[in-house]
Chain A
């Protein structure tokens, strides 16, 4: 299995506000350079339920799907599949846990995994048998080998 990317940080607000900001007000803070349209005023929508869509709506009204909610458990946990700017078949998994701390701040733990679904590329890397690849994403290689 390919090792997921993990990021965690503390935000000075309670989990309710953190969850609500992440899902309900992404339009206000999501970096425009990481949208598909790159429009500054694109709307970013998380439909608030399991199965809900995550998408970007441009000023012209075009909707561009980014993913789908898998688990909607406010204010503690959010899971979604993510295929921004790529085929849905290349979707990866994002899990975000909002952990309340005693000082009423919140630890946000992000885990982004599911890389083994890009398996054909992993396979190619394995076959290349480049010494230089050995140090790079070692578990990517392991994932490709498990499938073959």
Chain B
């Protein structure tokens, strides 16, 4: 089982302090890049980069509201995280099983 090529790993995405802070900020309400940058000690381009990682992992989405682009938490994000993990473990299990069964010591 393979992940869709454009899907990021939600647990990678949450493995960074600023990205977790962004998730917290967006949990209160949708915000623009500038509004997020105003509340964090990092630059606007850095915020944009973190948002791209979160977006790729399915945790946030963006929307154009008039002249503003706002980011919001993706409601399916946690479910995506869980599904991702189930995929990883089933992939690991299948490969482990194949290898173990084909290398077991012969019984006489």
Contact = CB atoms under 8 A, between A and B. Distances in A.
Given A12-B101, A120-B24, A85 B15 contact: yes
Interface in B57-108: 73, 75-76, 78-79, 82, 85-86, 88-93, 95-101, 103-105
Interface residues of B, number: 39
B50 to A, nearest CB: 14
Interface in A1-51: 5, 7, 9, 11-14, 17-18, 21-22, 25, 28-31, 33-34
A7 B93 CA distance: 9
Given A17-B104, A120-B20, A120-B24, A86 B75 contact: no
Contact of B99 (A21, A125, A130): A21
Contact of A86 (B3, B15, B97, B101): B15
A29 B24 CA distance: 38
Interface residues of A, number: 39
Contacts of B15: 85-87, 90
Contact of A17 (B3, B73, B85, B105): B105
Contact of A7 (B12, B76, B90): B90
Contacts of B104: 12-14, 17
A109 B69 CA distance: 46
A85 B9 CA distance: 10
A136 B77 CA distance: 9
By secondary structure, the B interface counts as helix
B39 interface: no
A24 to B, nearest CB: 11
A119 B37 CA distance: 23
B93 A110 contact: yes
Contact of A33 (B3, B11, B24, B26): B3
Most B Cβ at <10 Å: residue of A13, A25, A127, A137: A13
Given A5-B86, A121-B23, A136 B101 contact: no
B14 interface: yes
Interface of B: 2-3, 9, 11-12, 14-17, 20, 23-24, 26-28, 73, 75-76, 78-79, 82, 85-86, 88-93, 95-101, 103-105
Given A22-B100, A86-B12, A124-B27, 10 more contacts: A5-B82, A12-B104, A13-B101, A21-B103, A30-B95, A85-B11, A85-B12, A90-B11, A121-B20, A136-B76
10 contacts: A13-B104, A18-B100, A22-B96, A28-B103, A121-B14, A124-B26, A124-B27, A127-B27, A133-B78, A137-B79
